[in-house]
Structure 1
Amino acid sequence: MTETLENRTAPGKRQRREGFWPTLIARFLKHKLAVLGLVVLILLGLLAIFAPLLAPYTFDGQDASIIGQPQPPSAAHWMGTDQLGRDAFTRVLYGARISLMVGLFSALLATFLGTLVGALSGYYRGWTDTVLMRITDVVLCIPLLPLIILLSGILRPSVALLIAIVGSLSWMGTARLVRSQFLSLREREFVEASRALGGGDNRVMFRHILPNALGPIIVSTTLSVGGTIMLESALSFLGLGVQPPTPTWGNLLNYASQWLTAAPWLAVFPGLMILITVLAVNFLGDGLRDAFDPRN
Structure 2
Amino acid sequence: MVDLTTQTLEVETARSRRPYRQMAARFMRHRLAVVGAVVLILMALIVIAAPWFLPYRYDQQDFTILGVPTPPSAEHWLGTDELGRDALTRLVYGGRVSLGVGLLGAIISTLVGTAIGSVAGFYRGIWDMLLMRFTDVMLSIPTLPLVLLLSTLFRPSPGLLIVIVGGLIWMGTARLVRSQFLALREREYVEAARALGAAGPRLILRHILPNALGPITVAATLAVGTSIMLESGLSFLGFGILPPVPTWGNILNSASGWLSIAPWLAIPPGLCIFFTVLAVNFVGEGLRDAMEPRG
Q: In structure 1, how many angstroms separate the alpha carbons of the residues matched to 2:188 and 2:105?
A: 35
Equivalences for 1:173-212 in 2 at 5 Å? 173-212=172-211
Unaligned runs of 5+ in 2: 1-10
Q: Which amino acid aligns with 1:147?
A: L
Residues 51, 93 of structure 1: 8 Å contact kept: yes
Residue matched to 1:272? 271
Distance 2:154 2:17 in 1: 52
- Where does residue 51 of structure 1 map in the other structure? 50
Q: CA deviation at 1:35?
A: 0.7
Contact 1:114–1:172 under 8 Å retained in 2: yes
Runs of 4 or more consecutive aligned structure 1 residues displaced over 4 Å after TM superposition: 12-15
Q: Secondary structure at the match of 2:33?
A: helix
Matches within 5 A, 1:78-157: 78-157=77-156
Equivalent residues in 2 for 1:155-170, closer than 5 Å: 155-170=154-169
Q: 1: distance between equivalents of 2:153 and 2:241?
A: 13
Q: What is the CA-CA distance between 1:18 and the residue it aligns to?
A: 5.0
Q: What is the rounded CA distance, in whole Å, between the counterparts of 1:125 and 1:14 in structure 2?
A: 37
CA contact 1:116–1:175 (8 Å) conserved in 2: yes
Write the letter of the residue equivalent to 2:65. I
Q: Distance in 1 between matches of 2:294 and 2:166?
A: 32
Helix, strand or coil at the partner of 2:266:
helix
Structure 1 residue 295: Cα displacement: 2.5
Contact 1:37 1:281 in 2 (8 A): yes
Query: Which residue is equivalent to 1:7?
Result: none
Partner of 1:37: 36
Q: 1:17: Cα distance to partner?
A: 6.4
For 2:53 and 2:90, the matched residues in 1 are separated by 12
Counterparts of 1:133 and 1:286 in 2: how far apart (Å)?
A: 27
Following TM superposition, by how much is the alpha carbon of 1:49 offset from its aligned partner in structure 2, in angstroms? 1.0
Tell me the distance in 2 between the aligned counterparts of 1:174 and 1:286.
Answer: 16
* In 2, Cα distance between equivalents of 1:85 and 1:27: 48
Tell me how far 1:54 sits from its aligned partner.
2.1
Output one character per residue of 1:145-175: Cα deviation in whole Å (capped at 9) or x when no partner. 0000011011111001001111111111000
Taking the aligned partners of 1:259 and 1:196, their CA distance within structure 2 comes to 69
TM-score by length of 2: 0.94
CA distance in 1, matches of 2:282, 2:135: 28
Deviation per CA, 1:37-78: give whole Å up to 9, x if none: 111101111111111112220001111221112111111111
RMSD: 1.5
Checking the alignment, whether the CA contact within 8 Å between 1:107 and 1:221 is kept in structure 2 is yes
Residue 213 of structure 1 aligns to a residue whose secondary structure is helix
- State the distance in 2 between where 1:151 and 1:125 align: 32
Which whole-Å CA distance do the structure 1 matches of 2:170 and 2:147 have between them? 14
How far off is 1:96 after superposition?
0.4
Deviation readout 1:183-239 (Å, 9 max, x if unpaired): 000000110111122211111101110000000000011011111101100000011
Aligned equivalents of 1:145 and 1:202: distance in 2? Answer: 35
CA–CA distance in structure 1, aligned partners of residues 75 and 157 of structure 2: 32
Q: 2:8: which partner in 1?
A: none
Kindly indicate whether the alpha-carbon contact (under 8 Å) linking 1:119 and 1:182 is maintained by their aligned counterparts in 2. yes
Shift of 1:15: 8.7
CA distance in 2, matches of 1:22, 1:158: 41
Structure 1 Cα separation of the partners of residues 62 and 253 of structure 2: 22
- Gap change, CA 1:253 and 1:212, over 3 Å in 2: same
- Give the C-alpha shift of residue 294 in structure 1: 3.6
Q: Retained in 2: the 8 A contact 1:47–1:54?
A: no
Counterpart residue identity of residue 67, structure 1: L
Q: How does 1:51-70 map to 2 (within 5 A)?
A: 51-70=50-69
Distance in 1 of aligned mates of 2:124 and 2:24: 35
Deviation of 1:255 after TM superposition, in Å, equals: 0.1
How far apart, CA to CA, are the structure 2 residues paired with 1:69 and 1:295?
A: 56
Residue 145 to residue 83, structure 1, CA distance change in 2 (3 Å): same
- The unaligned stretches of length 5 or more in structure 1 are 1-11
Identity between Structure 1 and Structure 2 (%): 61
In structure 2, C-alpha distance between the alignment counterparts of 1:219 and 1:127, rounded to whole Å: 29
Q: With the length of structure 1 as denominator, give the TM-score of the two structures.
A: 0.94
Aligned residue in 1 for 2:237 = 238
Distance 1:294 1:98 in 2: 35
Q: Which amino acid aligns with 1:136?
A: T
